[in-house]
Amino acid sequence: MTGLFDLTGTVAVVTGSSRGIGLGIARALLSQGANVLVNGYDADETANAVKSLASAAAGVAGADEADEADEADEADGRVVGLAGDVTDAGVAERLVSEAVRVFGRIDHLVCNPGIDIIKPAVDYTPDEWDRVLTVNLRGAFQPAQAAARHWIAYKQAGSVTMTSSIAGSIGIPTLAPYAASKGGINQLVRTLAAEWAPHGIRVNAIAPGYVANIMDNAITHDEQRIVAFTPLGRRATIDEIAAPYVFLAAPAASYVTGAVIAVDGGYTAT
């Protein structure tokens, strides 16, 4: 079989993609031929991510000087940015409308907003709890809702992939609101997959384990414990986490929906 992972001509919107895992996901989707709309909270960071992805997609680093401008222009046509807070329903709707305006369609949505506040559960304030749940859970639902409304209205199929975490299924101290948000993502994925399947919309999640350099404060968890509880004995690279998102967007995953796929080096298997 050929073309199982070919995304040429498709369009992906990736929220939370101005850095970290999200930027890696956008890069991976571009590498398989997708056009990508990048979204981050900060406008400057989002613009820099677009420039970085355009350069990578064009292969500028190895280009002859005469070809460099043409290749960069071609890559610019495959990646655009739209900064904004996805907890705002208007921003979520604009992500979909902008993808359609620029590329003519939307095929894939990656819901990857994420913040964390690491502290003992007895010390969280109500505002800290609300902030984490709002960004991580509502910030994932609203773009998914906007994309589904578009696909249903135009009778088009689509795929949604959300970012969960090992903390959504096992207990890890000092992560109470983050864990609650990711457990919510898992159940949201299952519910939306069942509800939207008749419309040809697949909904899945990737649940990363510990990743190198992905989030403020993440490195504070004890490295010896991480190595001891991860059968592969190390943190993942961003590229190792990003690759399964390509699978879930690709024709290879056409019969996969409602799945929460652990990409954690075996952490939750032990």
Q: Is residue 153 part of a domain?
A: yes
Q: Is residue 202 part of a domain?
A: yes
pLDDT at 70 (0 to 100) = 40
Alpha helices (runs of H) in the chain, residue ranges in sequence order? 20-31, 43-58, 65-76, 89-103, 126-133, 139-153, 176-196, 223-229, 238-249
Query: Residue 153: which domain range?
Result: 11-269
Angle between helices 20-31 and 238-249 (to 10 degrees): 50
Q: Average model confidence (pLDDT) for the chain? A: 91
Catalytic residue selected from 41, 154, 178, 245: 178
With vertex at residue 25, the alpha carbon angle to CA 173 and CA 139, rounded to the nearest 5 degrees, is: 60
Q: What is the pLDDT of residues 165-186, one digit of tens each?
A: 999 999 999 999 999 999 999 9
Q: What stretch of H or E contains 109?
A: strand 108-111
With vertex at residue 56, the alpha carbon angle to CA 216 and CA 265, rounded to the nearest 5 degrees, is: 45
Q: Is residue 180 part of a domain?
A: yes
Higher confidence at residue 248 or residue 1? 248
pLDDT at 216 (0 to 100) = 47
**80 residue type, one letter:** V
What is the average pLDDT across 188-193? Answer: 98
Q: Is residue 3 part of a domain?
A: no
Residue matched to tokens 């290749």: 71
Q: What is the pLDDT of residues 48-74, one digit of tens each?
A: 999 999 998 777 444 444 444 443 344
Cβ neighbours around 121 below 10 Å, total: 12
How far apart (Å, rounded) are the C-alpha atoms in residues 187 and 184? 5
Q: Is residue 224 part of a domain?
A: yes
How far apart (Å, rounded) are the C-alpha atoms in residues 259 and 261? 6
Q: Is residue 5 part of a domain?
A: no
Q: Is residue 6 part of a domain?
A: no
Residue 13 CA from chain centroid, whole number:
9
What is the average pLDDT across 221-247? Answer: 92
pLDDT at 214 over 80: no
pLDDT at 106 over 80: yes
What is the average pLDDT across 226-249? Answer: 95
Q: Is residue 4 part of a domain?
A: no
- Report which DSSP code applies to 93: H
- Report which DSSP code applies to 172: -
Number of structural domains (the chain) is 1
What is the average pLDDT across 230-256? Answer: 97
Contact of 137 with 185, CB cutoff 8 Å: yes
Does the annotation mark 178 as catalytic?
Answer: yes
Q: Which of 264, 259, 238 is nearest to 170 (CA)?
A: 264
pLDDT tier for residue 76 given thresholds of 50, 70 and 90: low
How far apart (Å, rounded) are the C-alpha atoms in residues 107 and 239? 22
Taking the alpha carbons at both ends of the chain, their separation in whole angstroms is 34
pLDDT at 202 (0 to 100) = 99
Q: Which of 47, 109, 33 is nearest to 83 (CA)?
A: 47
pLDDT at 239 (0 to 100) = 96
CATH number, residue 81? 3.40.50.720
Contact of 146 with 195, CB cutoff 8 Å: no
pLDDT at 234 (0 to 100) = 93
Q: What is the pLDDT of residues 119-137, one digit of tens each?
A: 999 999 999 999 999 999 9
